[in-house]
Amino acid sequence: MERVRGREAELAEMAGMLRRPQGRFAVLCAAGGMGKTTVAAQFAAQADAAGWHVFWVRWRDAAELAQQMVQVALACGLPEEELDSARAGLVSLPDVVWRQLGRARRWLLVLDNADEPQEIGPVGEPLADYRGWIRPHGRGLLVMTSRDSSPQTWGPRARLLPLTPLPAQPAGQILVDVAPAAGTAEQARDLAVRLGGLPLALHAAGTYLAGPTSRWSMNCPSYWGPSTRTPLIRNLPAPWCGTPGRCPWTSSPEKATLWPAPCCDY
């Protein structure tokens, strides 16, 4: 796995929570393109290497989430008879799952792409009541990734970890990591600033610059002028083409063009 740059504080915060959850869960929150999933994956790899049981669940819909949460509980030792009671409607399925997660030790559960947390349920109740699938309970740590950064959504037990654009130094280092032969560290920092420190844009640009058919380098003057989007962005391969109408930065044509399309995640 490639090294994550500029997110050391967030990784350290989650590492501390993993050791001592204290009835909390973490939410990596930011607009698209900031690297939420990448940071969560790095943290999951670190936890796995340290001997924790790691589970990765990607949000798609409530039915699939329920199935995956049951699989997590079974992997953590949930007795089949308790699951049968939930299937028979005698007890709540989320209650059964979280009861088992309260017994198990040393687990990390990542729920990725929870951009519409109100859809997670339970229906008609605020997520922050912690009566559904999102709960600050158990002897492990729940980590969410979401575009929703509202404290009201996640409630008092959530530790919100907002991701912002990267500073010049770590942003430039990403370009050097991906395209080491495309220019100097100083040129990489300059280009990273032009790209707004957005991890998605940095990786897209670096991948293009490192390609065998690329005609550009980091020191190409065409990157620095008002025609920035002409040589680089126009030639970015799908799905990095972006959809300007969905970009929060619509005032900037360059950044809007680099924003990921609805089918893209990062």
181-209 core/surface letters (b: 16 or more CB in 10 A; e: else): ebbeeebbbbbbebbbbbbbbbbbbbebb
Give residue 216's pLDDT band: very low, low, confident or very high (50, 70, 90): low
Strand-pairing partners, residue 54, are: 108
From the CA atom positions of the chain, what is the Rg in Å? Answer: 21
Q: What is the pLDDT of residue 182?
A: 86
Helix then strand then coil, in percent of the chain rounded to 5, is 45, 10, 45
Task: Label the pairing between strands 25-29 and 158-162.
Answer: parallel
Q: What is the pLDDT of residue 211?
A: 83
Segment 195-223 mean pLDDT: 77
Question: Most distant CA pair in the chain: distance in Å?
Answer: 69
Give residue 220's pLDDT band: very low, low, confident or very high (50, 70, 90): low
Q: Which of 35-44, 85-94, 121-130 has the lowest mean pLDDT?
A: 121-130
Give residue 111's pLDDT band: very low, low, confident or very high (50, 70, 90): very high
Comparison of pLDDT for 25 and 138, the residue scoring more:
25
Please answer whether residues 40 and 112 qualify as being in contact, where contact means their C-beta atoms are separated by less than 8 angstroms. Answer: yes
Segment 63-75 mean pLDDT: 95
Please state the pTM of the whole predicted model.
0.81
pLDDT in tens, 225-263: 443 443 444 444 433 333 333 333 223 333 333 333 333
Give dist(CA 142, CA 122) in Å, integer.
18
> How distant, in Å, are the alpha carbons of 65, 114, 177, 244, 266 from that of 262?
21, 14, 27, 11, 11
What lies within 8 Å, CB to CB, of 150 at 6+ separation is: none
Give dist(CA 57, CA 68) in Å, integer.
7
Q: What is the pLDDT of residue 83?
A: 94
Q: Which of 17-31, 137-151, 234-248 has the lowest mean pLDDT?
A: 234-248
